[in-house]
Amino acid sequence: MAGADSYSPLIESRADLIEVLSRGCKPQADWRIGTEHEKHVFHTNPLRPVSYEGPNGIHALLDGVQAATGWEPFYDGDNPIGLRNKESAGGISLEPGGQFELSGAPQIDLHASAAELAEHMAVTKAVAAPLDIHFLGLGVTPIWSVDEIPAMPKSRYGIMKPYMEKVGTLGTSMMFRSCTVQANLDFSSEADMVKKLRVALALQPVATALFANSPFADGVDTGYLSYRSHIWLNTDNARTGMLPFAFDEGFGFEQYVDYALDVPMYFVIRNGAYVNVAGESFKAFLRGELPQLPGEKPTIKDWEDHLSTIFPEVRLKQFLEMRGADMGDEKSVTALSAFWTGLLYDDIALEAAYEMIKPWTQAQREQIRQDVPKLGLATPLDRTNLYDYAAQAVGIAEAGLVRRNRLNAAGKDESIHLAPLEETIRLAQSPAERWRAKLTGEWGGDITRIFTEAEM
C-alpha cells in the first residue's frame, strides 16, 4: 500500500464494497435533505466567460467568499479549488468550466434548505459584484463553445477531458458548459433504497421535463428543451443511463456493486496527486494488477472515489442522488428537492408513486429517457404523454409534503416550495419553452437577453 492514504483501510473482501453502500441506512428520524446546484459564471463588460486567474477571476471569487464566510479552502497543488464549512459539512467546489457549485449541508427540512441557499446567494453575489462576476441559472451556457470556456486547474479534469473525447461526442460539453441541480436523500434499509431508487429512476425523465431549462447552445435554439439532458445521452454510456438492472428481482446493494465494478476507472489519488488510470478496471485494481500502480491494492477511499465517478440518472452512494434536472432560478433549486422529498419521504406518497411507475416496461423507461430532451412534457407514454404523469407526480409530492407537516415561521408547510412546478403544470410549458417564446417574440432573436433575465 505504498503511498496510499494512511487513514483508509485496504479492501479485504467483497463484503467491504457492499458495506460502503449499506452504511447509508439510517432511521427515518435521521433522514436529511441535501441540495446541490451549479451555476454558470460570466462577466458583463464585455460579455464573456470567467477565467480562474486574474484580479476578477474565480480565484478572487473564492478568496472573497472565504473571507466572508470563514470557510476553509482546499487545494489542487497550490490552487484553491473550493471551500469547506467544517461545521455543517457543506461546501463550494468548481466544475471544469468554472461553474460555481454549492454542495448544501444535510438539512432537516426544505425551509432550512431554502434558507441555506438564500444565504449562499446573498454572500456570493455580494462578493462577486465588484468583480463583475454574475451567475446564470440555466442548464447549458447559451452562447459559448467548449473551446471558449477557460478550464479550472483541477487535476481530475485533466484526466477526464481526453478520456471523455474518446468515449462520447459531448462529454466535454457536459464538463465545461452544463449545470444541474441535484437532490440527495436518505433511505432506511436495503428494501427502502430499492423502492426509492426504482421510483426515482423511472421518474427522472419526468423531472427532466418539468425542469427543462436549456434550449440554447452555441448562440442558437438547439431544438431541444433540455440540451443538457441530450448531452448526457452522448457522454459515456459505460457510466450513465437508467440502470435497468435495478428493476430486476433480487436487486440490492450487491448488484449495484457488480455494476460499479464494471465501470471503467478515471483516477487513483496517492499522496494528494491524481494518478491517471482512465479506462482501467477496478477488478484489476483489487487483484493488484493496475499497470500504473503494480502490486498495489485499493483502499476503501479508492472505492468511494470510484463510486463518485459513476453518473447514472440516479446515483447510489450512502444516499440517493437525483441527477436529472437542469439548473434554474433560486426557487427552482429548492423545488427540485421539494419534488423528490414529497415523493420519497412520505410512505403514502412513495407507494402512490411506485404504483404509478410499476407498469412501465424497461423499453418504455428507456424510450422516454431518449425522447424527453427534445419533447419534454409532450413525450409520449402509453396512450398519453409525460405531462399527465408529471401533473400526477407533482400532486403526489404536494400531498406528501403536506403530510410531513414541517412548518416555517409563518406556519406554511413545505409544499410552498413546489410553486415553480405548479406554474409549469398550469402553463403546460417548461421554462425552456418560455425562453424559446421570448427569443422569437420580445427579444427579437437576441439570445444574449437571457443573460439578464436568467441571471440569479
> Is residue 302 situated within a structural domain?
no
> Is residue 279 situated within a structural domain?
no
d(CA 53, CA 206): 39
Measure Cα distances from 8 to 166, 186, 270, 319, 442 in Å: 32, 24, 12, 20, 58
Residue 6 has what pLDDT?
A: 53
Residue 4 has what pLDDT?
A: 43
| DSSP 8-class letter at 53 | S
d(CA 124, CA 135): 10
Residue 303 CB contacts under 8 Å (≥ 6 apart), including other chains: 11, 16, 17, 20, 282
Cell 455494476 sits on residue: 259
Mean pLDDT, consecutive 10-residue stretches, the chain (456 aa), reads 62 98 98 98 98 98 98 96 94 98 98 98 98 98 98 96 97 98 98 99 98 98 98 98 98 98 97 96 98 97 98 98 98 98 99 98 98 98 97 98 98 98 98 98 98 98
Facing residues of 384 across strands? 381
> Is residue 298 situated within a structural domain?
no
Residue 284 has what pLDDT?
A: 98
Residue 3 has what pLDDT?
A: 39
- By the 10 Å C-beta count (0-12 exposed, 13-18 middle, 19+ buried), 111 is classed as buried
Residue 258 has what pLDDT?
A: 98
> Is residue 288 situated within a structural domain?
no
Closest CA to 420 of 310, 329, 359: 329
d(CA 209, CA 226): 8
What the block records as the C-alpha cell of 231 is 448531452
SS3 label, residue 133: coil
| Pairing outcome for strands 79-85 and 90-94 | antiparallel
> Is residue 351 situated within a structural domain?
yes
Residue 7 has what pLDDT?
A: 81
d(CA 32, CA 147): 39
CATH of the domain at 325: 3.30.590.20
d(CA 253, CA 406): 31
Angle at 38 between CA 36 and CA 40, to 5 degrees: 165
- For residue 245, the enclosing domain spans 31-263+310-453
CB atoms within 10 A of CB 55: 7
Angle between helices 386-404 and 419-427 (to 10 degrees): 150
DSSP string, 167-203: H-SSHHHHHHHB-EEEEEE-BSSHHHHHHHHHHHHHH
> Is residue 416 situated within a structural domain?
yes
> Is residue 174 situated within a structural domain?
yes
d(CA 181, CA 279): 28
Contact call for residues 378 and 435 (beta carbons, < 8 A) = no
- By the 10 Å C-beta count (0-12 exposed, 13-18 middle, 19+ buried), 402 is classed as middle
Residue 391 CB contacts under 8 Å (≥ 6 apart), including other chains: 425
> Is residue 103 situated within a structural domain?
yes
Total number of domains constituting the chain: 1
SS3 label, residue 379: coil
